[in-house]
Amino acid sequence: MSENETPAPDVKPERPSLLRNFISYLGMAISASALTSFILLFLISITKADDNPYTDLIIFIFIPSVLVFGLFVMIVGVLWERRRRIKNPNAGISKYPVLDLNDAGRRRSLIVLVALVIVFMFMSAFGSYRAYEYTESVVFCGQACHSVMKPEFVAYQASPHAKVRCVECHVGEGAGAYVNSKFTGMRQLWGVVTGHYNRPIETPVRNLRSATETCQNCHWSEKYHGDVLKVFNHYDTDEKNSLSQTRMAIKVGGGNSATGPNGGIHWHMNIANKIDFVSDTRRLSIPWVRFTDSSGKSVEYKAIDAALSAQEIQAAPVRRMDCVDCHNRPAHVYLSPNTAVDRSLDAGLLKTEMPFIKAKAVETLSKAYTTNDEAVASIAADLNGYYRTSYPDLVSKDPAILANAVAEVQRIYQTYFFPEMKTDWQAHPNHIGHLTAQGCFRCHDGQHVSGDGRVISKECNICHTTLSQTYLNNPVEVVDGKFQHPVTLGDRDQYKCADCHKGDRPFKHPLNLGDISRFQCADCHTGTYDKVRY
């Protein structure tokens, strides 16, 4: 080098980025794929109406999870590469990164990094909110785990609470309730993934918040409601599908003396009283009850034929009675074949002009099926076969009446019966009333006696008064406001309605007739009330 030449300054070789390793490259690929998918699906979701329950689940929960996983893999790669270079003295890397804003390249890199972090934080916040919003939706609760929750979701849509979101009862208000529900949901999700879940879903729901925190946000127990007129229509299994009707005044009553008389059914929720009880795990049997009045005086009642011993009752958990102990199916009601067909006949969806439609519909609904598809096919085959053989003139004159009947019975089955989940009205009995489940008679059976001889009453008129009755379209004389059973039962106090009324009653005679094939219904059922005797 000549003496006029200036020596070149020492130039440090540019060190490669810590991202230059195969682990980080894999993380970049995962994140880039997830980001591209997120943008594409998000644009599709805001430009197209989509009722698919899995769309939001994928866009705002699954894909962001994959994106975060990709970023995590990138960070792992950076840390691994950094450690490798520190251990290698020739790598020429500082222990900590150098932030020199005077270096234009480093400055641009920092700006890009900050911008990407801001965008990612915005996306994460937006996605988290949408994920939260989605997990609180009815669609998520009912359809995301479709095979498991299908019975609950379908029955919910047919219930009086179909416009109430699931979380308003199953979660309730407050951050604590939300966190608890999500932890419970994680356990349930694991059960769905592994296939280890109850069929049917176990009820009652454990750790459900009390009715005062859920039901009473809409239903105010302190207000007096008095009596409510209720009309019960039951269609017989004869050729004419004859109507039997009972009109009752249901004594709903109230629980606060300041707003109306105490009494009626809602006396149980009187704010001045307290009712505690012990039951089996499903609350189908209640062997012990304790009533405490406003003065603090208590009376304990024990069932004469209690299945639990005194020691077992003493050791069992005691529950304070609230709304869901009677209203146990407020939003997921599974009707029995008998009740469901009666309602369809009431609504005109099944036609009383079709001979024996009540009998044939209940018969085919009451059969045991293993799958929904099998049931739908069998219902069509049974009804078509019967009416085309027994009533060909009816079918040829009005083919639509048979087609509509088949479709309606199939709809009933697919609304209230779910063989894959072993779910129906028998798996989840309704405790309101006492016709096809023991319900009120779990306590009001005349068999719960206190130490001093007092008995929890079975008297009908405590809860309802019969105003009028007809049986097979013929009037029935009502005595003292009590329901008059169309069949003489002798000492009726020995019976509970659900002992005979199984929900598919027309095809399981309540009395032991021996060889039932030797009888014809009309031999006893003459059509005249005062002659119906066994």
pLDDT of 91 strictly over 60 = no
- Given strand 227-235, what is the order of strands in its sheet? 227-235, 243-251, 464-471, 474-476
Distance between CA 259 and CA 227 in Å, rounded?
15
The whole-number pLDDT of residue 515 equals 47
pLDDT of 47 strictly over 80 = no
Determine contact, residues 335/361, Cβ cutoff 8 Å: no
Residue 440: partners with Cβ closer than 8 Å, 6 or more residues away: 326, 431, 433, 434, 463
pLDDT, tens only, 374-419: 999 999 999 999 999 999 999 999 999 999 999 999 999 999 999 9
Determine contact, residues 333/436, Cβ cutoff 8 Å: no
The whole-model pTM stands at 0.69
The domain limits of the chain are 22-135, 147-208, 227-330+431-531, 337-421
pLDDT of 25 strictly over 60 = yes
The whole-number pLDDT of residue 417 equals 94
pLDDT of 121 strictly over 80 = no
Percentage of residues in the chain having pLDDT higher than 90: 27
3-state secondary structure of 505: helix
Element (H, E) at 303: strand 298-303
Determine contact, residues 375/369, Cβ cutoff 8 Å: yes
Q: Average pLDDT, stretch 499-507?
A: 63
Distance between CA 249 and CA 252 in Å, rounded?
9
Distance between CA 234 and CA 225 in Å, rounded?
27
Determine contact, residues 467/460, Cβ cutoff 8 Å: no
pLDDT, tens only, 229-249: 999 999 998 999 999 999 999
pLDDT of 508 strictly over 50 = no
Residue (of 397, 483, 212) closest to 388 by Cα position = 397
Number of residues written out for the chain:
534
The mean predicted confidence, pLDDT, of the chain is: 79
Residue (of 368, 361, 397) closest to 382 by Cα position = 361
Tokens read off for 368? 């045991």
Residue (of 390, 386, 450, 378) closest to 419 by Cα position = 378
